[in-house]
Amino acid sequence: MLSIHSIKAQNTKKLLVIYTKEAYLKSVKEDTNKALVLLKKYVPSIKLDIKYATSQNIFYQKLYPKAVAYVRLPVAKALAKVQEELKSKGLSLKIYDAYRPYSVTVQMFDMLPDTLYMGLPWTGSKHNRGIALDLTLVNLKTRKELKMPTPFDALVYASHPEFPLVSDEAKQNRELLKDIMKKHGFVVDPMEWWHFNYKSNTNFEILDLPFKTFE
Ligand SMILES: [Zn+2]
């Protein structure tokens, strides 16, 4: 871990990253909204398909030790509202990724140095701040994913959330996802229909702590 940080030190000079459990706990003591919570605890019905906990991802390797989704407290509360509204339509959220330790973002960029689509080590990703999600919609009855313009992590134009040349069905589903997320305080990423950031005035720091810190 230390070697990754020192290699990237010149790029991250101005980036504030919390590396210790003590510093994280201190930030939570000052602002309880900064707690990272297990999403399943707040939204038990939410589906998880944590791609980076498997080798079924663009890196063809497992980057997380466990398939878990942690988010900051207000994000969990907002997602509970999204899920409640989706339930009335026979739908559910399915999470591909939530909180991601900063060192994993650095590791990803080393493997795939794409400045357009990848989280950048010198700015950090909102995933590192616990306020970003990669997700889609599933049908509660069939448990299948709704048709979307592309699969998760497809680095193509059709992934752009406004891309017009997609089927009516995919467009309808994408717009439904965007509308419902927006209604509950999320902003879609300009490059990826599946990525949403939670809007907040709080400065949620970048964290480089393993999942087990929050257990
Ligand atoms: Zn994302």
Domains: count for the chain: 1
Tell me: the pLDDT tens digits for 79-116?
A: 999 999 999 999 999 999 999 999 999 999 999 888 87
Does residue 160 have a known ligand-binding role? no
Largest Cα–Cα distance in the chain? 51
Tell me: the pLDDT tens digits for 188-197?
A: 999 999 999 9
Beta bridge partners of 137: 93
Assign residue 49 the CATH number of its domain: 3.30.1380.10
**How many A from CA of 153 to the centre of ligand 1?**
8
Does residue 195 have a known ligand-binding role? yes
Q: Is residue 161 a part of any domain in this protein?
A: no
* Model confidence at 11: pLDDT above 80: no
**How many A from CA of 97 to the centre of ligand 1?**
7
pLDDT score recorded for residue 1:
39
Range of the domain at 121: 2-144+204-214
**How many A from CA of 5 to the centre of ligand 1?**
22
Q: How far apart are CA 90 and CA 209, in angstroms?
A: 36
Residues annotated catalytic, as ranges:
192
Q: Is residue 164 a part of any domain in this protein?
A: no
